[in-house]
Each structure stands twice: as C-alpha cells, then as structure tokens.
Amino acid sequence: MPVEVQQGIARASAVLAALGDSTTGAMRASEIGRVANLGATTIARLLSSLEELDYVSKDPESQLYSIGPEILKLSSQGLNQNAVHRESRSVAQELARRTGLSVNVAIRDNDHIVYLCHFEGELAPKAHTMIGMRQPMHASALGKCLLGSMSENERRELLGPDPLPSYTAMTLTTHERLSADLASSEDSGVCTEDQELALGRLCIAAPIHDARGAVVASISVSGRLSVMRQQDLEDVTELMIEAADRISVGLGMISAIPH
C-alpha cells in the first residue's frame, strides 16, 4: 500500500523537480508555480524556506531561482556512500581513457536505471553529465544487464504488459522480443543497445556482481554509431568485461558465477 506523502514535503519536492527538469536553466517564481501547479502565495513561501536552507539559490539581480548548493552536497554524499560508485569510479574513468568512448555505470531504480558514473573519452565529448539521470531498462544495454538476471515472469511484473514504451523504431516493445534478446546475450556475457533508445547511438554493457554473485549494477561503453563502427568492438568488449570483473571483485566477488 503506497505511503501517503506529507503535503509540505510533496510541494517542496515538486518545486525542486520543476527546477531540475528546466531546459532553460534558472526560472522565475511564477514559472515554478505554474509547473508545480502551486499558487503564488504558496510558491513564494516555499521558495523562501528552500532558499534559507540552501536547497535553492536566488540571483539578486535577475530574481531567478536555480538548484542550490545543498542539493549538490547531498548528491555528492549519496554517491560517496554508494559502494558501487566507490568501486567503479576509477575503473570506469580508466576505461573511458583507454577506449576514447563514453563509459557509464548504473544501478536499478524500480523499472528504470540510474547513472552513478559517467566518463567521456576523447571520441565522445558531452556538454552535460549523465550522473543521476534515469533511463528505461528494456531500451538500454545497462538495463538489459539487470533484467537478464530475472525470470521472464519477474520482468513482466516489473515492466508491465505489452507493448513496452517505444523510443525509436528499433526499441524492443514486446516481452517475447526482449526475452529473445536477453537469451542471445547470455553466451556473450554482454548486452547490446543498437539505436533502441536514441537513433545514431550504439551501446554495449556488462553486468557487475556483488559478493553473493547477484547482479547489482552494470557498466557500458557507448558512442555515436559512426564512431563505434570504426572501433575494434571485440577489443572494446574485452576491456569492458575486464572492467566489470574488477568492480565485482572490489564489491567482494571471490568465486566464479554459475552460468
């Protein structure tokens, strides 16, 4: 049974979500109120309290609001307290340097994945970070690695009935196709995302195990399709699997995982 969220907390969360989802940066109070569906008096009171606590910042000249330093502090603390992030950070950074591609590490959040690490090689520059972003499991190589450790019934219960959400013409939108794709990935030990989430992008991923052998995260190498086709993908895959194994050992895995 869902827990009832206290009204004040829900409203504050809506304000922070509006600021975080903004595609234009800082926002006016009226814009935040409109997005969060809150009246002028309520939004003014909330913003004043959040500013006092450093959860939002207000520019004294433009009067525009943005995410405050306390949110950044909490995000950093959350990452540093996460064992997967601690063990994978340096390994993922080195993999990005060696391949020149984009490297991500993610964990599961209900029916989505959340990025814990994001590093860019010289062939995959980005103007933004992926850390904290969420992506659908069935349409991403990282998510498929986590789904592969579940039974088909568990996947159906988690993702819901067909059709699954479609993001491109390449997205696997049925459980039958998804299960077939995961089955074909078992032998190779890696999952592939070929333009299923975004056109022109190719991604390969490998699972990360904990001390019990359970799949708790995944690591990926990705890039533009044209760039990826110029790489020795067999070599890249070997480097990625080696990186996943190093992280798993760091998490306590000391024995072979039964196939």
Per DSSP bridges, beta strands 201-209 and 215-224 are antiparallel
pLDDT confidence band for 256 (50 / 70 / 90): low
Whether 201 has a pLDDT exceeding 70, the answer reads yes
Q: Which of 142, 89, 133, 136 is nearest to 114 (CA)?
A: 133
Whether 224 has a pLDDT exceeding 90, the answer reads yes
Structure tokens that stand for 122 in this block: 């010289």
CB 116 within 8 Å of CB 106: yes
Whether 258 has a pLDDT exceeding 90, the answer reads no
pLDDT confidence band for 245 (50 / 70 / 90): very high
pLDDT confidence band for 259 (50 / 70 / 90): low
Q: For position 141, what pLDDT does the model report?
A: 98
Q: What is the pLDDT of residues 52-103, one digit of tens each?
A: 999 999 999 999 999 999 999 999 999 999 999 999 999 999 999 999 999 9
Cα 232 off chain centre by: 26
CA atoms within 13 Å, Cβ hemisphere of 116: 28
Q: For position 257, what pLDDT does the model report?
A: 64
Q: For position 194, what pLDDT does the model report?
A: 97
pLDDT confidence band for 219 (50 / 70 / 90): very high
Helix ranges (H only) for the chain are: 7-21, 29-36, 40-52, 69-80, 83-99, 141-147, 152-159, 175-188, 225-228, 233-250
Helix/strand number for the chain, H first, E second: 10, 8
59: Cβ contacts below 8 Å, ≥ 6 apart:
26, 65, 66
Domains of the chain, with CATH numbers? Answer: 7-69 (1.10.10.10), 82-250 (3.30.450.40)
Q: What is the pLDDT of residues 10-27, one digit of tens each?
A: 999 999 999 999 988 999
Q: Which of 125, 105, 128 is nearest to 117 (CA)?
A: 105
Whether 182 has a pLDDT exceeding 50, the answer reads yes
Ramachandran class of 241: left when φ > 0, alpha when ψ lies in -120 to 50, beta otherwise:
alpha
> 229 vs 29, 80, 139, 190, 241, CA distance in Å?
47, 35, 20, 17, 19
Q: What is the pLDDT of residues 119-176, one digit of tens each?
A: 999 998 887 889 999 999 999 999 999 999 999 999 999 999 999 999 999 999 999 9
Calculate what percentage of the chain has a pLDDT beyond 70.
97
pLDDT confidence band for 1 (50 / 70 / 90): very low
CA distance 28 to 47: 11
